[in-house]
Amino acid sequence: MKKVRKAVFPVAGLGTRFLPATKAIPKEMLTVVDRPVIQYVVDEAREAGIEHLIFVTGRNKGVIEDYFDIQYELQNTLAERGKTMELTLLEDLQPRAGTASFTRQQAPLGLGHAVWCARDLVGNEPFAVLLPDMIMQAQKGCLAEMVELYEIAGGNVVSVEQCDPAETNKYGIVGKGETVGNGFKIEGMVEKPKPADAPSNFYISGRYILQPEIFQILEMQEKGAGNEIQLTDGMLKLAAQQSFSALPFSGRTFDCGTKEGFIEANVAFALWRSDIRDKVIGNIERLLETVEPVSVRNAAE
Ligand code: G1P
């Protein structure tokens, strides 16, 4: 069984829900406590043994590439000032030369199309996909757990969680089959079904281990839900030839593609951090007693 060495991060989305912030900053660079959302997702990939990061970017996303590059002037200044801790932090987070690649999705044609854009960089080996909208908090990362299931079940693996049965139309939904390892075999999947058509309430929560044959299917560029080329539709076709398993992730997941999820992630990661936890709790308690809501002109949900 081939090791999962490469991970694809589709980061081309416009982030309209976070306008005006995302007018000049990619949504993946918005900060949770003190690091950008994308850093959490890359950390999760590295913890799972990923060696090569592949970013599928778009226009106005150049700052993501800069973020993963060395900033010589900054690092020299930190060294001169004796800021060893900060310097070490930057060095630890820095991908080694040649282990991060960037390609552009030239048009917003859907997640399936974004993943297909990485085909030459991935080549003929299994790979992971991590959607940076979702960040996870757990002692063991979601992708690391999925790799363990992959070592037992082989084939393809996706992470799942249970959603409100009334909200299946927001996600890719999978059908539940027999148990395998910590997860289950998938029987059928559908992108954004109405509750009445959903095979279960297990939704795909944004982490995938896929075999390279998915690229031949995505190559056909067939459109599905929302008139987009859907990864879920491609996976359903691949499921006719290969096994798909689901890992129900037991950690916390935050949907940083929504305002509430993003704020919740900030609170949760602040509470997780022993250096700031107590102060943050005090601040939240005080705010809950004093802040009253006002109406705000807002980007749509
Ligand atoms: C995408 C996938 C969907 C998955 C979701 C998780 O949808 O197509 O299957 O459940 O991510 O966030 P999107 O959120 O891009 O509409």
What are the pLDDT digits (tens) for 25-57? 999 999 999 999 999 999 999 999 999 999 999
Task: Quickly tell me which residue has 């890359």 as its tokens.
Answer: 42
6-257 folds as Spore Coat Polysaccharide Biosynthesis Protein SpsA; Chain A (3.90.550)
| Cβ neighbours of residue 69 closer than 8 Å, sequence gap 6 or more | none
Q: Is 50 helix (H, G, I), strand (E, B) or coil?
A: coil
Structure tokens at 142: 């979601």
Q: Which atom of ligand 1 is nearest to the CA of 203?
A: 10
Residue nearest to atom 15 of ligand 1 (CA): 111
Q: Where are the domains of the chain?
A: 6-257, 259-301
The rounded mean pLDDT for the chain is 95
d(CA 60, ligand 1 centre) in Å = 22
Between the CA of 171 and the centroid of ligand 1 the distance, in Å, is 5
Nearest alpha-carbon partner for 64 in 24, 122, 11: 11
The minimum-distance atom of ligand 1 relative to the CA of 257 is 14
Q: What is the DSSP letter of 77?
A: H
Token pair of 74, please? 């900054």
Q: Which two tokens stand for residue 44?
A: 């999760």
Q: Which of 57-61, 81-85, 235-239, 251-255 has the lowest mean pLDDT?
A: 57-61
pLDDT at residue 299 above 90? no
Band (157; pLDDT cuts 50, 70, 90): very high
pLDDT of residue 280: 97
Nearest-CA neighbor of 249 among 171, 138, 131, 174? 138
Q: What mean pLDDT do residues 259-279 have?
A: 96
Mean pLDDT of the region 205-230: 95
pLDDT of residue 283: 96
Q: For residue 301, name the pLDDT band (cuts at 50, 70, 90).
A: low
- Given a cut of 90, whether residue 60 has pLDDT beyond it is no
Pocket-testing residue among 115, 131, 205, 218, ligand 1, by greatest number of atoms within 8 A of Cβ: 131
Measured between alpha carbons, how far is 299 from 301 in angstroms, rounded to an integer?
7
Written as one string, the DSSP assignment of 110-165 is: -HHHHHHTTHHHH-SS-EEEE-TTEEEE-SS-HHHHHHHHHHHH-SEEEEEEE--G
159-210 pLDDT, tens digit per residue, is 999 999 999 999 999 999 999 999 999 999 999 999 999 999 999 999 999 9
Least confident of 80-84, 220-224, 240-244: 220-224
C-alpha to C-alpha distances, 152 to 180, 181, 188, 249, 250, nearest whole angstrom: 8, 7, 21, 16, 19
The ligand 1 atom at the shortest distance from the C-alpha of residue 230 is 8
Count CA within 13 A, CB hemisphere, residue 194. Answer: 2
